[in-house]
Structure 1
Amino acid sequence: MDKAKEQTHRITVCTDCRHTGAPCRPGFDLLKRLQAAIAQAGTVLSEDFSLQGSVCMAGCERPCTVAFQATAKATYLFGDIKGEADISALVSFAQLYRDRPDGLTRKGERQRALGGKTLARIPAAIVAVERLPALLQ
Structure 2
Amino acid sequence: MIPATLFVCSLCRFSATEKSRGGLSGGQYFINQLQTELAVLNLQDTVHLQPVRCMAACSRPCNVSLAAPDRLTFILSGLSTTESATELVEFCQQYTTYPGGRVPFKERSAVIRAASAFILPALPAPN
Equivalent position of 1:11 in the other structure: 6
Query: Contact 2:4/2:66 (CA < 8 Å) preserved in 1?
Result: yes
Q: Which residue is equivalent to 1:76? A: 74
Query: Of 92, 95, 120, which aligns to 1:94?
Result: 92
CA contact (8 A) 2:79 2:111 kept: no
- Residues of 2 paired with 1:15 and 1:91: CA distance? 17
Q: Which amino acid aligns with 2:4?
A: H
Structure 1 segments of 4+ aligned residues over 2 angstroms from their partners: none
Q: What is residue 132 of structure 1 aligned with on the other side?
A: none
The alignment's C-alpha RMSD in Å is: 2.1
Kept after mapping to 1: 8 A contact 2:11/2:26: no
Which residue number corresponds to residue 31 of structure 2?
Answer: 31
Cα deviations by residue, 1:97-116 (Å, 9 ceiling, x for unpaired): 00012012232110112232
- Secondary structure of the residue aligned to 1:83 is coil
Q: 2:104 aligns with which of 103, 106, 111?
A: 106
Matched letter for residue 10 of structure 1:
T
Higher relative contact order (CA 8 A, sep 6+): 2
Highest CA radius of gyration, 1 or 2? Answer: 1
Q: Offset at 1:93?
A: 0.2
Q: Which amino acid in 2 is paired with 1:66?
A: V
Q: State the shift of 1:123 in Å.
A: 0.7
- 3-state SS of 1:91 partner: helix
Query: Amino acid of the residue matched to residue 96 of structure 1?
Result: Q
Distance 1:41 1:84, change over 3 A: farther
Match of 1:54 among 49, 52, 55: 52
Q: Kindly, what percent of the aligned residue pairs are identical?
A: 27
Identify which range, 32-41 or 76-85, moves more after superposition: 76-85
Structure 1 SS opposite 2:36: helix
Paired with 1:106 and 1:59, the residues of 2 have a C-alpha distance of: 26
